[in-house]
Amino acid sequence: ETGVTQSPTHLIKTRGQQVTLRCSSQSGHNTVSWYQQALGQGPQFIFQYYREEENGRGNFPPRFSGLQFPNYSSELNVNALELDDSALYLCASSLNGQSNQPQHFGDGTRLSIL
Amino acid sequence: GQSLEQPSEVTAVEGAIVQINCTYQTSGFYGLSWYQQHDGGAPTFLSYNALDGLEETGRFSSFLSRSDSYGYLLLQELQMKDSASYFCAVYGQNFVFGPGTRLSVLP
């Protein structure tokens, strides 16, 4: 069983740039959720994709967008990067977008904005 | 809106029992989950409660009272490796994680 993998592990960008983060879900999982985690805080829900459709969105501006592919892997795109976007971005996969299903997290992408 | 509250820090000694509380406010509620996260690591799933009562999984137990919007995680026979941050998470309108409780287990 292959776990959740994220790439890249670290990334440095400057204000105003755009970034794409990638996530491969655990085999058998059709749901991917993205989270932003600032240092010392809990993960903040960005959005969830279930079978290639957005299935819920947190309180993040439209410059945060996503995509899920037919193999259930996913991308998170962030445009017009701001200093406050510096954080750990976590991807989690689960089954059928249901609350009682455990979310399996990747190790995250550490994004630093200069 | 949705919000969760947890104690920021808890300290206990090896072999002890510790309880981490979580209160929540949410529009819509499907269940309460608990996750563990070691420093530099990914959150890992511990438990899920949809109905009132206690769920036991080895040394860890989780409790939910829907009428009180309250739950807790109980860790027994604490080990050094249990030192980590613990997050409660609610699935209502969306998934919402609490701010986390940092547990330090002392020898």
Backbone torsions φ then ψ of B15, nearest 5 degrees: 85, -10
Q: How far apart are CA B71 and CA B18, in angstroms?
A: 14
Taking only residues 40 to 59 of chain A, the set having a beta carbon closer than 8 angstroms to any beta carbon of chain B reads 40-45, 48, 56-58
| The token pair that represents A18 in the structure block | 């755009």
Tell me the pLDDT tens digit for each residue of B5-20.
Answer: 999 999 999 999 999 9
Q: How far apart are CA B13 and CA A112, in angstroms?
A: 36
Amino acid at A103: Q
B/e letters for B47-81, b = 16+ CB within 10 Å, e = fewer, are bbbbeeeebeeeebbbbbeeeebebbbebeebeee
Q: Which of A28, A34, A25, A20 is nearest to A93 (CA)?
A: A25
A41, B41: Cβ pair inside 8 Å?
no
What pLDDT score was predicted for residue A16? 97
Mean pLDDT of A102-111: 94
What pLDDT score was predicted for residue B30? 87
Residue A8, preceding peptide bond in cis (omega within 30° of 0): yes
Backbone torsions φ then ψ of A108, nearest 5 degrees: 90, 165
Q: Which position has the token pair 């981490």?
A: B20
Tell me the pLDDT tens digit for each residue of B48-103.
Answer: 999 999 999 899 999 999 999 999 999 999 999 999 999 999 987 778 999 999 99
What pLDDT score was predicted for residue A1? 58
DSSP B97: E
Q: How far apart are CA A69 and CA B83, in angstroms?
A: 37
What pLDDT score was predicted for residue A32? 95
Q: How far apart are CA B47 and CA B69, in angstroms?
A: 17
B54: closest CA of chain A, how far (Å):
15
| Nearest-CB residue to A90 (from B42, B45, B96) | B42
Q: How far apart are CA B70 and CA A73, in angstroms?
A: 35
What pLDDT score was predicted for residue B92? 77
B48, A102: Cβ pair inside 8 Å?
yes
Tell me the pLDDT tens digit for each residue of A2-61.
Answer: 699 999 999 999 999 999 999 999 988 999 999 999 999 999 999 999 999 999 999 999
Q: How far apart are CA A93 and CA A24, in angstroms?
A: 8
DSSP B27: S
